[in-house]
């Protein structure tokens, strides 16, 4: 049995496609490989309604905003003609690309002729504005191509990266490669200017690095992987801050605008030397994800060591109980260790999605379940809060306390978060399973059916569960040949007690890096039932988080709970948790789309709590996660 109390840092954790290149070069540092969501059909009472809302609400909202309300697609139409004004912000192309990636993922889940036709229409418009040398960016095409590649913070490579990701996603979903070919030409253009031995460039907003790895894997061309590695190696040598000349013109944000901040842009030191996370949170997540991808394929163990140090710093001193990161509105990122305000918390939705990306990679590099624990925490709390229950409104910022004036919006001038969540939700299946030569890893528990190949043995896996409301998970495994691999089921860090039955018989499997290891023993079929106790717990912050001294948060299973004023109008301001507070849980199918609500009763009276992800879906009112506490 694990300790009853969990002490976070604010949380501080208590728990300790195509073949790439030649056969030898394709060997990876990864211990666990992702099972792509295209092999998985989600049939789950919690997630299936959200995927349906993604199709019926989220994507239509994104398409309407892009085509009719913001001028984003019109920028491509004007750029193709070479005339007209640019509408919006200089990086608005990326919102179109991210929405397209989400559309492509939806097609991978289920082909839809109308959606596919819309994508083809947009792709034609995008391809039409690509310059003869491969360059594509509507901002510079419409404001002056002579100014391109003069400011490292103008997101040219960031936009290119999102275009590449969308192109790869659409190619994998449909076999159509027109957009991917546009991305290849843009990548080749960038390489002609900034590859090894050419001009220096530090992308002000990371993203292209991980996109280039995806392109390398999709095409089998190592040059894109090598370029991603080179861009990572450009950081920390002063190229951004000194404005070294490029093709006779000044380069770098500092030289042009006097604003380049090496800390903000993760440009203080070579990436392999990093130990402390600084700067903009989303940029950091894309950087670390790109580093992990490159490290796995380039066998760069120095990168892996740096990522371990950075993870310790983030999770140990700069992560909220919701899995959100980035406490400061001023820099959309990080300040000092343990500076985690609640009402002023920034916790950008994109950053929580980035935590899912990065922690999945860390899990793959190590086979350690603690990274999947953080992935789950960020997924169910920090990221999922970013979209309304109806799927049509979005949070950019996710505070842990509100005075009643913070609400989701239909769109934003900087709309990175709506388009981010639109591409993230349909790919949720990516994070459920992993494989290694000797094991099938189960990282997330949700109802699904999956077809997985393990060393050539076709295996069908089915999960039946009411998670995250209940801790019982039934896993049915059926294979064409006797199963020689192990099943590794993650025992979440929040789980204190659990039981496992294999084919009806209770077993006590060994634990390996947070996974319960089950041996099918050469069977072709087996049924495993995992039952995890899911009590309500009071969570204490690290004492160094001054904002939470004398407070507690409440969580149950993977979900963090909060108190909304609308449920507690008489007790909100005087709410108090005590040592003897008693909790009861009840599933209310009429409340917030169906949730397990929590009632806290003690000396303070009675308080009603709901999952944090579901707040601000009813009448306006105050909200808080951390509640006053008295021994």
Q: Is residue 383 part of a domain?
A: yes
Q: 416, 417, 495, 562: which one is catalytic?
A: 416
Burial of residue 505, with CB atoms counted within 10 A of its CB: 0-12 exposed, 13-18 middle, 19 or more buried: exposed
10 Å Cβ neighbour count for 428?
Answer: 25
In a domain, 366, yes or no: yes
CA–CA dist 231, 27 (Å, integer) = 22
Identify whether the C-beta of residue 48 lies closer than 8 Å to the C-beta of residue 576.
no
Contacts of 175 (CB under 8 A, 6+ apart): none
Q: What is the pLDDT of residue 260?
A: 81
In this structure, are residues 597 and 576 in contact, taking their beta carbons and an 8 Å threshold?
no
Residue 96: inside a domain: yes
Domain that holds residue 351: 39-425
Query: Residue 299: which CATH number?
Result: 1.50.10
- Note whether residue 511 is domain-resident: no
Termini Cα distance of the chain? 24
Whether residues 565 and 418 fall in one domain: no
Within-domain flag for 90: yes
Q: What pLDDT score was predicted for residue 213?
A: 98
Residues 488 and 510: their CA atoms lie apart, in Å, by: 10
In whole angstroms, how far apart are CA 460 and each of 457, 475, 546?
Answer: 10, 10, 49
**Which residue has tokens 């008693």?**
582
Angle between helices 281-298 and 301-317 (to 10 degrees): 150
- The answer to whether residue 578 is catalytic is no
305, containing H or E segment: helix 301-317
512 three-state secondary structure: strand
Question: E strand or H helix at 373, and its extent?
Answer: helix 369-377
Whether the bond between 468 and the residue before it is cis, its omega within 30 degrees of 0, is yes
- Angle between helices 113-128 and 156-174 in degrees, nearest 10: 140
DSSP assignment letter at 396 = S
What is the Cα–Cα distance from 143 to 112, expressed in whole angstroms? 37
As a whole number of angstroms, the distance between CA 208 and CA 155 comes to 10
pLDDT for res 241 = 60
**Does 414 share its domain with 560?**
no
How many Cα atoms sit within 13 Å of 310 on the Cβ side? 27
- Within 13 Å and on the Cβ side, how many CA atoms surround 349? 27
DSSP 541: P
Given a contact cutoff of 8 angstroms between Cβ atoms, the answer to whether 425 and 42 are in contact is: no
CA distance 116 to 103: 8
Residue-wise pLDDT tens digits, 557-581: 999 999 999 999 999 999 999 989 9
Cβ-contact 248, 331 below 8 angstroms: no
Using DSSP's 3-state secondary structure scheme, residue 511 falls into strand
Bridge-based pairing state of the strands 439-442 and 486-490: parallel
Counting every residue, how long is the chain?
Answer: 631
Last residue of some domain: 359, 390, 425?
425
Please identify which of the residues 156, 165, 268, 332 carries the catalytic annotation: 332
Are residue 417 and residue 277 in the same domain, yes or no?
yes
Does the N-terminal peptide bond of residue 339 adopt cis geometry, omega within 30 degrees of 0?
no
Domain stop point among 425, 452, 467? 425
Boundary (domain end) residue, out of 408, 425, 442 = 425
Q: In angstroms, rounded to a whole number, what is the distance separating the alpha carbons of residues 475 and 462?
A: 6
Residue at 456 is within a domain: no
pLDDT at 605: 84
What token pair was written down for 562? 């909060």
Helices (H) and strands (E) in the chain — how many of each?
17, 24
Q: Nearest 5°: CA angle at 532, between 475 and 364? A: 65
Yes or no: say if 267 and 206 are a contact pair by the CB < 8 Å rule.
Answer: no
Same domain, 419 and 553: no
> Is 484 domain-assigned?
no
Residue 444 is predicted with a pLDDT of: 98
Residue 410 designated active-site: no
522 lies in a domain? no
Q: How many domains does one find in the chain?
A: 2
**What parts of the chain have a pLDDT lower than 50?**
1-26, 242-258
């Amino acid at each position: 049995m694990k300790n009853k109390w969990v002490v976070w840092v604010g949380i501080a954790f208590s728990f300790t496609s195509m073949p790439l290149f030649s056969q030898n070069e394709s060997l990876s540092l990864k211990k666990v490989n992702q099972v792509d969501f295209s092999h998985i059909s989600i049939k789950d009472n919690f997630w299936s309604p959200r995927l349906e809302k993604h199709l019926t609400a989220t994507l239509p909202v994104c398409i309407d905003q892009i085509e009719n309300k913001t001028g984003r697609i019109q920028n491509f139409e004007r750029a193709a003609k070479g005339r007209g004004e640019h509408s919006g912000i200089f990086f608005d192309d990326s919102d179109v690309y991210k929405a397209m990636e989400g559309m492509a993922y939806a097609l991978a889940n289920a082909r839809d002729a109308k959606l596919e036709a819309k994508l083809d229409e947009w792709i034609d418009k995008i391809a039409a504005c690509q310059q003869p040398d491969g360059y594509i960016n509507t901002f510079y095409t419409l404001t002056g191509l002579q100014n391109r590649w003069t400011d490292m913070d103008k997101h040219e490579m960031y936009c290119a990266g999102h275009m590449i990701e969308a192109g790869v996603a659409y190619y994998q979903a449909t076999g159509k490669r027109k957009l991917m070919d546009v991305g290849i030409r843009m990548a080749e253009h960038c390489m002609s200017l900034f590859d090894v031995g050419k001009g220096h460039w530090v992308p002000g907003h990371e993203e292209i690095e991980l996109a280039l790895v995806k392109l390398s894997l999709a095409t089998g061309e190592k040059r894109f992987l090598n370029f991603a590695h080179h861009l990572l190696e450009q950081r920390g040598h002063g190229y951004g801050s000194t404005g070294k000349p490029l093709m006779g013109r000044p380069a770098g944000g500092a030289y042009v605008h006097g604003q380049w901040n090496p800390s903000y842009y993760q440009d203080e030191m070579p990436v392999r030397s990093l130990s402390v996370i600084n700067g903009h949170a989303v940029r950091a997540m894309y950087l670390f994800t790109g580093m992990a991808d490159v490290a796995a394929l380039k066998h760069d163990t120095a990168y892996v060591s740096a990522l371990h140090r950075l993870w310790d710093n983030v999770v140990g001193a700069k992560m909220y109980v919701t899995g959100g990161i980035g406490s400061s509105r001023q820099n959309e990122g990080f300040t000092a260790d343990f500076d985690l305000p609640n009402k002023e918390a920034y916790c950008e939705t994109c950053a929580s999605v980035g935590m899912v990306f990065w922690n999945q990679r860390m899990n793959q590099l190590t086979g350690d379940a603690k990274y999947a624990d953080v992935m789950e925490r960020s997924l169910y709390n920090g990221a999922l809060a970013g979209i309304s229950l109806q799927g049509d409104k979005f949070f950019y910022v996710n505070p842990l306390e509100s005075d009643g004036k913070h609400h989701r919006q239909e769109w934003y001038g900087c709309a990175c978060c709506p388009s981010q969540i639109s591409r993230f939700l349909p790919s949720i299946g990516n994070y459920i399973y992993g494989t290694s030569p000797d094991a099938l890893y189960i990282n997330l528990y949700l109802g699904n059916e999956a077809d997985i190949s393990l060393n050539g043995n076709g295996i069908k896996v089915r999960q039946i569960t009411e998670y995250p409301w209940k801790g019982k998970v039934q896993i049915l495994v059926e294979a064409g040949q006797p199963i020689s691999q192990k099943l590794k089921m993650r025992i979440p860090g929040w789980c204190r007690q659990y039981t496992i039955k294999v084919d009806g018989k209770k077993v006590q499997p060994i634990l390996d890096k947070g996974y319960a290891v089950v041996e099918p023993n050469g069977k072709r079929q087996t049924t495993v039932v995992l039952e995890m106790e899911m009590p309500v717990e009071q969570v204490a912050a690290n004492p160094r988080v001054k904002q939470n001294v004398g407070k507690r948060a409440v969580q149950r299973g993977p979900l963090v709970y909060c108190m909304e004023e609308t449920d507690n109008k008489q007790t909100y301001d005087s709410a108090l948790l005590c040592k003897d507070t008693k909790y009861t849980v009840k599933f209310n199918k009429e409340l917030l789309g169906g949730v397990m609500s929590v009632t806290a009763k003690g000396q303070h009276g009675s308080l009603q709590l709901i999952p944090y992800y579901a707040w601000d879906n009813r009448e306006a009112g105050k909200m808080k996660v951390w509640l006053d506490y008295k021994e």
